[in-house]
Amino acid sequence: MQTEQTSSNFGGIHVSMLDRKLFAAFFTSIIGYFIVPVFFRDASNSYFIIGLAVSIVTVPVLFIVGVLSSIAIESFSSSKNIGLSYLKHLGCALVCAFIFSLTVFDLLVTALLISFAYATIFFIIDRLLIRFWEESKQQ
């Protein structure tokens, strides 16, 4: 029963939970690159530079901490409630933002907004991938 929850077949290709989370992190990093500069005041002058600067920090954290914590949340969660799962993902992202803000306290609000945006985008994409792969599995 555990293998049904953590893996599925997509067009004959075995897709594990790790693969799905990595796909979600990849798409989140691309979407986040374009959304996050909106949170900065000088976004009109240097939109892509801000996106790159934020991505230099957020993408490695997303792929390491985000993917691993999301796998842990999904693996060890006894509840299948989507709202509770989202709150767990958001809580983990906020903890990461607080840890980051210990180094640069002036960016606490910005780090909280960025972590909220990335966690929300990641969670939505992950849920869409679950639905997409379950529908393709039934066909």
Predicted structure pTM score: 0.83
Helix (H), strand (E) at residue 23: helix 17-35
What is the count of structural domains for the chain?
1
Q: Domain range spanning residue 67?
A: 16-133
How do the pLDDT tens digits run along the chain, 139 residues long?
Answer: 444 445 555 454 456 889 999 999 999 999 999 998 888 877 667 888 888 988 999 999 999 999 999 999 998 888 888 999 999 999 999 999 999 888 887 888 889 999 999 999 999 999 999 888 777 777 6
Residue 90: alpha-carbon gap to chain centroid: 9
Please enumerate, as own/partner, the contacts of 37-43 that have beta carbons within 8 Å and a separation of 24 or more.
39/110, 39/113, 39/114, 39/117, 40/110
Task: Answer yes or no: is 99 within a domain.
Answer: yes
> Rounded to the nearest 5°, which phi and psi values hold at 102?
-65, -30
Amino acid residing at 62: L
Task: Answer yes or no: is 116 within a domain.
Answer: yes
Task: Answer yes or no: is 4 within a domain.
Answer: no
**CA–CA separation, 61 and 93 (whole Å):** 10
